[in-house]
Amino acid sequence: MLREIRNVKEIPGQGVRRWFNDEHLDLFVWYDAGGRIIGFQLCFDKDTRDERALTFTEDEGYSLDHVSTEASVCDLGSPVMVRAGGFSCRRLIEQLGERGVTLERSLYDYLRKKLEEYPAQPSGAASEVKAGS
């Protein structure tokens, strides 16, 4: 079950940030100063070598990245994000439903709506989609 991590470091210019996690998912949610959700990042398949991160922001729309933990040119011990191919959005919605029962209803409803709005793309298609496209 997702549990909220308290005292999350705030990054200037990114609004208020909340972080929820368990062994399968990491969920980061960004809010504006008025408490309105302005974006999220849902990292899934954490327990596999195929971890991905689905990000949505009002300004940039959707993007899907593979979380690579392999050594990079500038290896600082941090994961590197690289563009990823498709994924089963239906499976991710089901997983969020199972693991996200601890989320407040308005947050869960927002996330489910945004996941349902994620555009289906054929294999090999670009994985970045502007909101409203």
Is pLDDT above 60 for 128? Answer: no
3-state secondary structure of 128: strand
Domain boundaries, the chain: 3-117
Return mean pLDDT, the chain.
81
Mind listing the pLDDT tens digit for each residue in 62-119?
Answer: 999 888 765 554 555 545 444 555 678 899 999 999 999 999 999 999 999 999 998 8
**Residue 69: partners with Cβ closer than 8 Å, 6 or more residues away:** 51, 79, 80
Residue 50: what pLDDT?
Answer: 80
Provide the percentage of residues in the chain whose pLDDT is more than 90. 56
Please state whether 14 falls in left (phi above 0), alpha (psi between -120 and 50) or beta: alpha
Residue 120: what pLDDT?
Answer: 66
User: Tokens 């289906």 identify what position?
Assistant: 120
